[in-house]
């Protein structure tokens, strides 16, 4: 490690930083950044990512390298605005999720460690790099003693080598049709995750998507999504804390597509 620095990010409940290290590797110099975004505010996380992008660009100007790596706990799934700022391939420079690059069909969930249902921890590689990921896995995914894990998050380990990134690699994970998946866990108490996909046939435009929850009598009790969505894989958390035990239905509507699935809340 030859040089180091940091940038103070806008604060949420706690102060946050992005830390930089200039690292000399057998492949060449790498600019390595690590951060931990705010956990309680999506708007703060979005601003923090904007600051990180600007800070990285300033470092790259004065410290040329074979690649820029950005890692950390981002407290957001890939569909969130904060992450979309990084992985938006419509921009000249963007960041590749190395785990998805290597494992396009695997969700790679990292939290909670004892029963992961979401991915909020990433190893990003900037698309301008002359190194590529060739292996990436979720690690620390077994308890070291009884039910005790190293952390409340699992880790992500990525190996890199010389090469040129296939900048279209991540787009291959998008399906060619709308799809609504079974929630997990199911039965649940009190939270569950609902996944759906928007197909790549609308990758250059947006599709208006609605995802709603109904009780067994057909009464609407929650609207989880009601907005335009670009092509991609999405997951939404549903919280049934205030609801009684019972059977509920969730429905996805997008254009001519409509699908309903059943879930069970048990308290």
Q: Which comes out higher in pLDDT, residue 110 or 235?
A: 110
| Cα 138 from Cα 97, distance rounded (Å) | 13
175-200: average pLDDT: 83
The residues facing 142 across adjacent strands are none
Q: How confident is the model at residue 120 (pLDDT cuts 50, 70, 90)?
A: very high
pLDDT of residue 184: 82
pLDDT of residue 119: 93
Q: How confident is the model at residue 206 (pLDDT cuts 50, 70, 90)?
A: low
pLDDT of residue 195: 84
Q: Is the pLDDT of residue 171 over 50?
A: no
Query: Which has the minimum average pLDDT: 107-111, 168-172, 195-199?
Result: 168-172
Per-residue pLDDT reduced to its tens digit, 10-25: 998 899 999 999 999 9
18-43: average pLDDT: 96
Q: Which comes out higher in pLDDT, residue 231 or 61?
A: 61
| Cα 90 from Cα 170, distance rounded (Å) | 13
Instruction: Give the CATH fold of the 3-170 domain.
Output: Deoxyribonuclease I; Chain A (3.60.10)
130-148: average pLDDT: 91
Q: Is the pLDDT of residue 174 over 60?
A: no
Per-residue pLDDT reduced to its tens digit, 43-88: 999 999 999 999 999 999 999 999 999 999 999 998 889 999 999 8
- Residue 218 neighbours by CB under 8 Å, 6+ apart: none
- In 3-state terms the chain splits into helix, strand, coil percentages (rounded to 5) of 15, 45, 40
pLDDT of residue 222: 97
| Cα 99 from Cα 156, distance rounded (Å) | 8
3-state secondary structure of 166: coil
Flag whether the pTM goes above 0.75: no
Q: Is the pLDDT of residue 103 over 90?
A: no
| Cα 151 from Cα 143, distance rounded (Å) | 10
| Cα 69 from Cα 33, distance rounded (Å) | 6
The residue extents of the domains of the chain are 3-170, 174-265
| Cα 199 from Cα 205, distance rounded (Å) | 11
List the one residue out of 121, 193, 197 whose CA is nearest residue 153.
Answer: 121
> Which class does domain 174-265 fall in?
mainly beta
């Amino acid at each position: 490690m030859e040089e180091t620095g940091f940038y103070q990010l806008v604060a949420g409940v706690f102060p946050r930083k992005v830390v930089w290290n200039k690292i000399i590797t057998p492949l060449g110099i790498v600019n390595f950044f690590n951060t931990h975004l705010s956990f309680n505010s999506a708007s703060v996380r979005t601003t923090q990512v904007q600051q990180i992008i600007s800070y990285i660009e300033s470092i790259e100007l004065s410290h040329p390298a074979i690649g820029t790596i950005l890692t950390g706990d981002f407290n957001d799934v890939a569909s969130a605005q904060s992450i979309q700022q990084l992985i938006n391939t419509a921009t000249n420079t963007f960041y590749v999720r190395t785990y998805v690059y290597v494992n396009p069909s695997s969700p790679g969930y990292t939290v909670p460690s004892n029963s992961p249902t979401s991915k909020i921890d990433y190893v990003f590689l900037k698309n301008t790099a002359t190194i590529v990921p060739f292996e990436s896995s979720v690690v620390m995914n077994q308890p070291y003693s009884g039910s005790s894990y190293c952390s409340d998050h699992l880790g992500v380990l990525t190996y890199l080598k010389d090469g040129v990134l296939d900048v279209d690699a991540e787009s291959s994970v998008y399906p060619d049709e709308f799809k609504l998946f079974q929630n997990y866990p199911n039965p649940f108490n009190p939270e569950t995750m609902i996944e759906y996909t928007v197909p790549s046939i609308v990758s250059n435009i947006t599709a208006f998507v609605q995802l709603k929850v109904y009780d067994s009598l057909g009464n609407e009790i929650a609207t989880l999504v009601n907005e335009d969505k670009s092509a991609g894989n999405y997951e939404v958390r549903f919280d049934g804390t205030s609801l009684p035990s019972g059977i509920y239905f969730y429905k996805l509507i997008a254009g001519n597509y409509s699908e309903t699935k059943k879930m069970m809340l048990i308290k």
